Chain A
Amino acid sequence: MNIHEYQAKELLKSYGVPVPAGKVAFSEPEAGAAAQEIGGSRWVVKAQIHAGGRGKAGGVKVVDAIADVKKTADAMLGTHLVTHQTGLEGQAVQRVWVEQASRIVKEYYLGFVIDRTSQRVTLLASSEGGVDIEDVAKTHPEKIIKVIIDSAIGLMPYQCRNIAVAIGLKGRLVNQSVKLMQGVYQCMVERDALQAEINPMAVVDCDGDEKLIALDAKLNFDDNAIYRQKAIMDLRDLAEEDPKEVEATSHGLSYIALTGNIGCIVNGAGLAMASMDAITLHGGEPANFLDVGGGASPTKVTNACRIVLEDPNVRCILVNIFAGINRCDWIAQGLIQACNSLHIKVPLIVRLAGTNVEEGRKILEESGLQFITAENLDDAAAKAVATARG
């Protein structure tokens, strides 16, 4: 689960991480009032959407007058911001973050990820900040400092100081880095974040005094831990998520919309991906990824059919079930229930295997409904592609 930049900054602030003074605004007058309250003579207005690449897309503006803060906020709010991460439709801007403009001396990179090789939280830092760290990794891998953190010990101050020196910080800024880095790490572990990115972490000039602050912040949380993170759950912005995916999740289904015309209903993420692969290899295009999960009841199957059919591009549905913890007879009952209640007009290609497969096939045969049955994965994909071509 992602949260907005402003929410991340407020959360990190509560962990002692220095961030610029700022306030969120949902309207033009609120933006003006926010600038007034923050004070100063220069502000940054930042569109709050979850996607990255906002700066290049015009979602971050620096202004010198409160009237311009209002004007900029008004121009941003309600528009769709298109960045390289949003897709062509863009993402609606419903809130802006107004913060005091910082006089940046230099930008750095700070990130925490769960590294899949070491299976530990790993800190990444670089003297190259404010740019895509993936690019730095390609062009100057030697400029990325990597420190694996022992979860039993945590991030020690000496580690922070070593990292700070390694990326070129000096003097009191080295001391300041300890509080910042430890704050982000503590937040990540306590709040079950998968990833924390401060890009840039910046040295700013505050009336001749240099300070190290988090100028941007991105936090991504573990959906599996959200049950114990009520406060994080409250930060969820459903407007940022695909409504169909949200609905699917509420029914215990995992759904991802794609651009093809063959709907997919499969059990298990691996088989669901493999079914999409088989369709693609037969020259077809899947309309979606859908995992009905274990223990798929008839109601769950009906919901899956409904969600898949809401996509107007769908010309047929491939149902591929290899039941382990699932039961083919339940799936079959679900399909019949779905056909009857949803008046499904598109053809269903059904491949059943595993637990109670004979019962499942029998139920489909005796229903009198027209299912295209398939023997195996290859057969199912071939039939689905042929059917979609009609």
Chain B
Amino acid sequence: MSIFVNKNSRVIFQGFTGEHATFHAQDAMNTGTTVVGGVTPGKGGTTHLGLPVFDTVAEAVAATGADVSGVFVPPPFAVDALMEAVEAGIKVAVTIADGIPIHDMVKLQRFRVGRDALVIGPNTPGIITPGECKVGIMPSNIYKKGRVGMVSRSGTLNYEATEQISAAGLGVSTAVGIGGDPVNGMDFVSVLQAFENDPETDVVVMIGEIGGPQEVAAARWAKVNMKKPVIGFVAGIAAPVGRRMGHAGAIISGEADTAKAKMDAMEGLGLYVARNPAHIGLVIKQAMKERGL
């Protein structure tokens, strides 16, 4: 099972012949992902990494039955590539690009109305179901198979939490990075919903950061709809007001945007909260013990 991607996923890469796509497509194949080809406009008909290259996603889908795409296309062209993927029938499109203009993302979100494809990102490390499917740029060797579902805005905090999960003797069912941008394809709620329905996930870790209402909205949703325990952490306790902390979306614009306010709200809504980024693993263990898992 797991969520969104698994051993049955048939993956293509857009921007396939580029440096990063090549490296990570190779790594994905080495770690169990079924990569079926790729798209680089203008290079259709050639082969790359022993796989067919197509000019368009539509051709790639028709020829290979691909249902997942890793969009390794630079920010100015990423939204066009995402729309192409959605239109061609890709079910899950993951975009790594950091720096997509926000008005392009607003257009994409409008475009997705009435279309059911999932978009993960932008500005994300991607998604990994260890041993089955990786679409992204994360170091796959740190992800061990297990029953903790993980979702984060930040890439490196996804890695950090994974290491703590491993150190606690646990592993990950699926790890999802939803990305650090203020307008992103997939939100926390969609990921929590999928984890709640996933028989291979026992417990969920949600790692947010300052800025935006997403974490609290997700916690509110979880309180009503989830039986599985959720552990939350919000980065940026020490962040100053009004400054964009690296991620486009990480900015405190009002009281509710602070890490403390979000973690207080999460706690009030019944989540387990790690108040220290170094204690995420410990709090997972504690939550599992309390729930008899």
Contacts and interface: CB of A to CB of B under 8 A. Distances in A.
Given A121-B106, A256-B245, A289-B246, A270 B209 contact: yes
Contact of A324 (B110, B137, B249): B137
B23 to A, nearest CB: 9
B245 A269 contact: yes
Interface in A255-308: 256, 258, 266-281, 286, 289, 291, 294
Task: Tell me whether chain A's interface is mostly helix, strand or loop, or mixed.
Answer: mixed
Contacts of B101: 192, 222, 224-225, 228
Give the size category of A's interface with B.
Answer: 35 or more
Interface string A159-193: 00000000000000000000000000000010010
B259 interface: yes
A225 B103 contact: yes
A261 to B, nearest CB: 13
B34 to A, nearest CB: 22
B247 A270 contact: yes
A150 interface: yes
Contacts of B76: 227-228
B276 A278 contact: yes
Interface string B51-81: 0000000000000000000000001100000
A373 interface: no
B206 to A, nearest CB: 13
A57 interface: no
Nearest to A275: B277
Contacts of A354: 139, 142, 159
B182 A116 contact: yes
Interface in B76-92: 76
Contacts of A274: 154, 157, 160, 235, 277
Give the size category of B's interface with A.
Answer: 35 or more
A91 interface: no
Interface stretch (B7-15, B41-49, B210-218): B210-218
Interface stretch (A3-11, A97-105, A339-347, A376-384): A376-384
B193 interface: no
A117 interface: yes
B31 interface: no
Interface string B88-131: 00000000001111111111011000000000000001000000
B227 interface: no
Interface string A95-127: 000000000000000000010110111000000
A117 B139 contact: no
Contacts of A227: 76
Given A192-B101, A322-B163, A120 B110 contact: yes
A280 to B, nearest CB: 4
A203 B285 CA distance: 62
B57 to A, nearest CB: 22
From A150, A224, A271, residue with most partner B Cβ within 10 Å: A224
Given A189-B103, A277-B277, A322 B248 contact: no
14 contacts: A117-B217, A152-B107, A223-B248, A256-B243, A256-B245, A268-B155, A268-B246, A269-B246, A270-B157, A270-B207, A270-B247, A274-B160, A353-B163, A377-B277
Interface of A: 85, 114, 116-117, 119-121, 134, 150-152, 189, 192, 194, 222-225, 227-228, 254, 256, 258, 266-281, 286, 289, 291, 294, 322-325, 353-355, 376-378, 381
Given A269-B245, A276-B237, 8 more contacts: A119-B105, A151-B110, A269-B246, A270-B157, A271-B160, A273-B250, A276-B238, A294-B98
